[in-house]
A and B are shown apart, each in its own frame.
Chain A
Amino acid sequence: MSDQQFEKLSALMDGELSDRLAGNLLDQSGQDPEFRSAWERYHLIGQAMRGEAFNPAARQVSESVGETLLTEPIPIRRRASRNTPHARLAPFGGAALAAAAAFLAVFAVPNLFQGPETEPATSPGQPLTTWTPVGAAAERRWDLDRPDLASKLDLFLVSHQEAAPATGVKGILPYATLVGYEAAR
């Protein structure tokens, strides 16, 4: 997607895109996985800016949009642009929005899970319930069908990377495995 398309998507979510432009945007980008991903992230931004708890259903918004586009293209386009909650994202450019999603993900969310020591966020008292079911069914990390064991291996890997020598000079590469790796989906 181009920066211009990201900006149009932002305007669409704010209800500020004309019906004609909204239709064109959805026609051009509706089948684009990047478009769906951006759509999903912008919803996350909106939820975060409004102080709403994380809604796992938002993770499937892009899929819903894609399915709807296949069956009812025209009417749903207009409804989508009008019913989308106003997150007031228009002042940002498309690229900035993507970056904003990133910052929100790492600046805002991790603060919810700070612990005194090495600590998976499954310990009592942590607000896990709003985060749990996200993509578990679609993910098959570590080639395992046991999410509990995969999570434990994630914890072991993060603890290892933090403790291993020369981690700093390798830059972020050791962590790219965690962030960049997504199991077949």
Chain B
Amino acid sequence: MKPPVSLGAATLAALLGLGTGLAPAEEGAEGRASGMLENMNRALRSLDYEGTLVHLFDNRMETLHLVHRVDAGGVQERLVSLSGPVRAVTRERDRVTCVMPDGHPISVKSHAGRNLLRSDRIDPAVLTDRYQIQIEGAARVAGRDTDVLAIRPRDALRYGYRFHLDRDTSLPLKSDLIDQAGEPIEQLMFTSLILHEDVDEAAAQAQAQQAPSGNLGSEVSTRWRFEARPPGFEQVMYDRIRAPNGAEVEHFVFSDRLSAYSIYIEPDASEGLDGTTRIGAVHAAGRQIDGHQVTVVGEVPAAAVEAAAAGVRPSVGEPR
């Protein structure tokens, strides 16, 4: 691979139309990285494809089959395990459904419209405080030439991504979840890919209109406060869901514009998680507070969910 091309504050300045004072070569790299991300966003919103993937994690490998379709109604994805017990996720325009090996299928309605940051694009301009964006050269994946783009976290409280982007289509043929050192934690890679049709410009436009870039939402006033949050994470959504036992659960989403975690607060503290656990790179932390169960879940390091859980406080004087 070629040496990484580091991007930083200059990217933000360039995207804001400010002068950077950088050499033309560096400015070219910035523009290229931004263009690569934009092209990837566009490809994911406009191409129909399917293929076989391998998912690498914890020194283990699973084989998956993905179908990705786009129409004016949105993106539909279906991901199914081809090894081990049948597990499947299907993402429709307004719903995500999971069939899990323990026999408890889950159906979740989309939050589109309620989440101000429900964006299907990555904006490099807002990431530079917490992430470093790098072009890392070229590689071959699934027999195709790719350019490698990394969004590396600047601290140990979040993960980043390394995308291997197909030169012809800009699809991410390999996606790595990486840590601060750039080491992969999980990897998802196509071993075969079938493209069904060319770019659907109409669908892409429709998707773009449905995917606002969004601004951080103001915090919803509730009976809970969230102190000592991991730096850079702000509340972007509040909702209520139903737990398996029927109880109403408060759901708060915090994001740094790329990584995110959710805090769930249940009225019954008897059946919850106490401590920290994980599944793959997803961590969860739980504790009881004031007769309530607090559970934090997210694709972030354990330190982040632990800090988030520890910072939950009841608001003094608020009605319970």
Give A contacts to B, CB under 8 Å.
33-34, 37, 41, 44, 59, 98-99, 101-103, 105-107, 109-110, 112-123, 128, 131-136, 138-139, 141-144, 147-182, 185
Q: Is A113 touching B97 in the complex (CB atoms < 8 A)?
A: yes
Assuming the A-B contacts A160-B260, A165-B115, are A170 and B87 also in contact, with contact meaning beta carbons closer than 8 angstroms in the complex?
A: no
Q: Is B237 touching A143 in the complex (CB atoms < 8 A)?
A: no
Given A175-B96, A182-B83, 12 other A-B contacts at CB below 8 A? A37-B82, A106-B99, A115-B109, A121-B104, A142-B278, A153-B279, A158-B89, A160-B261, A166-B257, A171-B188, A180-B62, A185-B84
Q: How many angstroms between the C-alpha atoms of A156 and B295 in the bound complex?
A: 9
Q: Is B225 an interface residue (CB 8 A)?
A: no
In terms of DSSP, what is the predominant structure of the interface of chain B? strand
B74-93 CB contact bits vs A (8 Å, 1 = yes)? 01011111111111111100
Q: How many angstroms between the C-alpha atoms of A169 and B82 in the bound complex?
A: 24
Partner of A169, one of B86, B120, B281, B298: B120
Assuming the A-B contacts A98-B65, A102-B80, A171-B44, are A153 and B102 also in contact, with contact meaning beta carbons closer than 8 angstroms in the complex?
A: no
Q: Is B303 an interface residue (CB 8 A)?
A: no
Chain A residue nearest in CB terms to B111? A163
Q: How many angstroms between the C-alpha atoms of A91 and B121 in the bound complex?
A: 42
Q: Is B119 an interface residue (CB 8 A)?
A: yes
Q: How many angstroms between the C-alpha atoms of A164 and B68 in the bound complex?
A: 20
Assuming the A-B contacts A142-B279, A182-B85, are A170 and B175 also in contact, with contact meaning beta carbons closer than 8 angstroms in the complex?
A: yes
Which residues of B are found within 8 Å of A121, using beta-carbon distances? 104-107
Assuming the A-B contacts A135-B85, A149-B272, are A117 and B295 also in contact, with contact meaning beta carbons closer than 8 angstroms in the complex?
A: no
Partner of A133, one of B41, B103, B271: B103
Which residues of B are found within 8 Å of A161, using beta-carbon distances? 96, 299
Total residues of chain B contacting the partner, CB 8 A: 92
Q: How many angstroms between the C-alpha atoms of A25 and B16 in the bound complex?
A: 64
Q: Is B251 touching A159 in the complex (CB atoms < 8 A)?
A: yes
Give B contacts to A, CB under 8 Å.
40-41, 44-45, 53, 55, 57, 62, 64-68, 75, 77-91, 95-111, 115, 117-122, 161, 172, 175, 177, 186, 188, 211, 214, 236-237, 239, 241-244, 246, 251, 253, 255, 257-258, 260-262, 264, 271-273, 277-282, 284, 295, 297-299
Q: How many angstroms between the C-alpha atoms of A107 and B69 in the bound complex?
A: 14
Q: Is B75 touching A114 in the complex (CB atoms < 8 A)?
A: no
Partner of A102, one of B65, B110, B111, B115: B65
Q: How many angstroms between the C-alpha atoms of A35 and B168 in the bound complex?
A: 36
Q: Is A172 touching B66 in the complex (CB atoms < 8 A)?
A: yes
9 A-B pairs with the lowest CB-CB distances in the bound complex, closest first: A168-B120, A180-B55, A102-B80, A165-B117, A164-B260, A110-B97, A160-B262, A118-B241, A177-B280
Assuming the A-B contacts A134-B101, A163-B111, A169-B40, are A179 and B118 also in contact, with contact meaning beta carbons closer than 8 angstroms in the complex?
A: no
Q: How many angstroms between the C-alpha atoms of A134 and B88 in the bound complex?
A: 14
Chain B nearest CB from A32 CB (Å) reads: 12
Quick one: which of A133, A158, A165 has the most chain B CB within 10 A? A165
Which residues of A are found within 8 Å of B297, using beta-carbon distances? 153, 156-157, 160
Partner of A114, one of B65, B107, B115, B119: B107
Q: How many angstroms between the C-alpha atoms of A164 and B234 in the bound complex?
A: 12
Q: How many angstroms between the C-alpha atoms of A149 and B33 in the bound complex?
A: 42
Q: How many angstroms between the C-alpha atoms of A128 and B244 in the bound complex?
A: 13
Partner of A166, one of B78, B105, B122, B280: B122
Q: Is B105 touching A113 in the complex (CB atoms < 8 A)?
A: yes
Partner of A106, one of B88, B177, B211: B88
Partner of B110, one of A115, A141, A162: A162
Chain B nearest CB from A1 CB (Å) reads: 11
